[in-house]
Amino acid sequence: MEEKLSNDRIKELKAFCKSRNLHFKDLKLLDLAFHHCSFSNENRSEKYFNNERLEFLGDSVLGLAAADFLYKDMSSNHAEGDLAKIKATVVSEKSLAPIALKFGIDRLLILGHGEELSGGRHKPAILADCMEAVIGAYYMDSGFAACEKYILDFLVPEIRKVQKFGGKDYKTLLQELYQKKAKTCPIYELVSKTGPDHDQVFSVSVKLGNVSYGPARGKSKKEAEQKAAEMAYNEINGM
């Protein structure tokens, strides 16, 4: 059976809502969105107390919000395939997982002991699924209009990136930009690696000739490299 929320958990959930401008009437529903199935699998008394159903619902709500925006935003000169490619990119695990980390969803996850030890708190699939579960919970709590507003707040910037850069990541963009000026490639350097094995933080800088950018931090070396590339790309372009 689900337990009553502790005062500390209520504070955590309220802080999350405040940071994302969410207005939940039922905090227990939001709390459910953070419960991964590994928790319910290890706690038989709460066998069905996990976010899988909310994730299922949130996936559809997210897709509808993205499709509706793209249909209205892009002119009739764009074929269905153009809209579909952008939608597939922005609602993907690759897109949602970094946003989840930015929102601090990793800190709110309720995981089973085994999943916790295996680094599940920073696994892209778990993070992206939780993003969808939160969407599903907010849809159930406050309806589509409020949920759509929340979604578009983080989704439109991702859509704009794809529209502008064609879905290329920042490492690719930086390499293409730099190779127009030099024959060498950007060099990524691991500055530091801290934290326990299941919760490591990587710091990476990128060097273009004699100029170094960063360091940038990430939960994986790959994430840190992408952030360092983004820093360099934006600085070079005056963004």
Omega within 30 of 0 (cis) for the link into 124: no
197 catalytic, yes or no? Answer: no
CB 186 within 8 A of CB 229: yes
Specify the pLDDT at position 58. Answer: 98
Separation between Cα atoms, residue 168 and residue 149, nearest integer Å? 26
pLDDT at 43: 80
pLDDT of the residue at 1: 44
- Are the CB atoms for 22 and 108 separated by under 8 Å? no
Residue 194 near residue 224, CB atoms below 8 Å: no
- Give pLDDT < 50 ranges for the chain: 1
Q: Which of 31, 59, 115, 141 is catalytic?
A: 59
Which are the contacts of 45, defined by CB distance < 8 A and separation ≥ 6?
1
The pLDDT tens digits of the residues spanning 107-153 come to 999 999 999 988 889 899 999 999 999 999 999 999 999 999 999 99
* pLDDT score for 42: 84
From the list 12, 106, 129, 132, the catalytic residue is: 132
Res 3: pLDDT: 66
Q: What's the pLDDT score for residue 23? A: 97
**DSSP for the chain, written as a single string:** -PPPPPHHHHHHHHHHHHHHT---S-HHHHHHHTB-HHHHHH-GGGTT-SSHHHHHHHHHHHHHHHHHHHHHHS-TTS-HHHHHHHHHHHTSHHHHHHHHHHHTHHHH-B--HHHHHTTGGG-HHHHHHHHHHHHHHHHHHH-HHHHHHHHHHHHHHHHHHHHHHTT--HHHHHHHHHHTT-SSPPEEEEEEEES-GGG-EEEEEEEETTEEEEEEEESSHHHHHHHHHHHHHHHHTT-
Closest CA to 114 of 105, 102, 123: 123
Residue 80 annotated as catalytic: no
